[in-house]
Chain A
Amino acid sequence: MRAWAVALLLLTGVPAVAEPPPPPDVPLADPVAEQKAKALMGELRCLTCQNQSIADSGAAQAQAMRVEVRERIAAGEEPEAVRAFFVERYGDWVSFVPPARQDTALLWAAPLLFLALGAVLVMRRIRR
């Protein structure tokens, strides 16, 4: 009997301290704006579950970030301006899309460089 009571308590008891679950998402009424917002959410990193985008994460802060994205898009901001808002606060790290700058040139050029290398190797093989 007692064991059952303990088991029941363990199953139904809530921890004394727990973060309240985030409120449900409210999509924007305008489907085009919602689409824009959703696309950006997939490219912003969640700070709580760092390998997830805020679109995928169930964390409360990701939800707050989605609200921020939706409100800014609804107010007419371009997705790139909204991304810049987050980068200004958290750095490049918060965006899954690396910025195109001088110091990231090698990163962006790498696929072309490797393709060229492959082409050279294939050419040499054919000539032989």
Chain B
Amino acid sequence: MTMGTRALWLLPLALFAGLVVLMAGNLGKPQQAVVRSHLVGKPVPALALEGVAGAQGLTNADLASGKPVLLNLFASWCLPCAVEAPQLEALRAKGVTIHAIAVRDQPADVEGFLAKHGNPFGRIGQDPGGRMMIAFGASGVPETFVVDGKGIIRFQHLGEIRAEHVPMLMAELEKAR
């Protein structure tokens, strides 16, 4: 056997070793991929949702009002949604209009959630079946979309809004102006 063929025999072993290193490097890393909505830059999907908790329902006209707004997807059963409540209140206090969609929720539960954590929302549409989440390309709750004055989705924030995200969302709203 020449040196060349011997090296060739070692090739599968080297490939296998490379695979092991690659896999070992990925151990312990989160397996959950972040799936961004591909509707950013596109118009808001058609929607006509009934109101809940005393708020008026949500239609496309509310999301094309001439000025940028936030659209928050939340649910009473979602813990991070309670975590982001103070930040939504802070955004509202800065004069931001925030509309919401209550995902897979019961009216009484939404009322209880808003009574406990505060209600920063202008309009709240009900999405009992979770179909609007799919329509928006959302992969979970909470998610927050920046929608410009013409009804075009300009930005998507996945997960809860933490204090450090507030200035970033204000900047995105300004960009969407």
Contact = CB atoms under 8 A, between A and B. Distances in A.
A93 B77 contact: no
Given A18-B77, A19-B104, A20-B104, A93 B35 contact: yes
Contact of B33 (A18, A50, A63): A50
A68 interface: yes
B137 A90 contact: yes
Interface stretch (B20-28, B125-133, B165-173): B125-133
Contacts of B31: 50-51
A17 B78 CA distance: 7
B131 A89 contact: no
Interface residues of A, number: 24
Contacts, number: 64
B129 A67 contact: yes
A95 B107 CA distance: 34
B79 A68 contact: no
B51 interface: no
Contact of B131 (A17, A19, A64): A64
Interface string A87-98: 111110110000
Contact of A91 (B35, B76, B133): B35
B177 interface: no
A73 interface: no
B129 A64 contact: yes
A64 B37 contact: no
A47 B37 contact: no
B134 interface: yes
Contact of A64 (B82, B134, B137): B134
Contacts of A63: 130
A61 B131 CA distance: 9
B7 to A, nearest CB: 16
Given A20-B77, A65-B134, A67-B129, A93 B104 contact: no
Q: Which of B36, B76, B77 has the most CB of A within 10 A?
A: B77
Contact of B78 (A19, A50, A89): A19
B124 to A, nearest CB: 18
A89 B104 contact: no
Nearest to B39: A89
A48 interface: yes
Contacts of B140: 47-48, 61
B2 interface: no
A68 B134 contact: yes
Contact of B79 (A17, A67, A89): A17
Given A48-B140, A61-B134, A93-B33, 4 more contacts: A64-B130, A68-B134, A89-B134, A90-B35
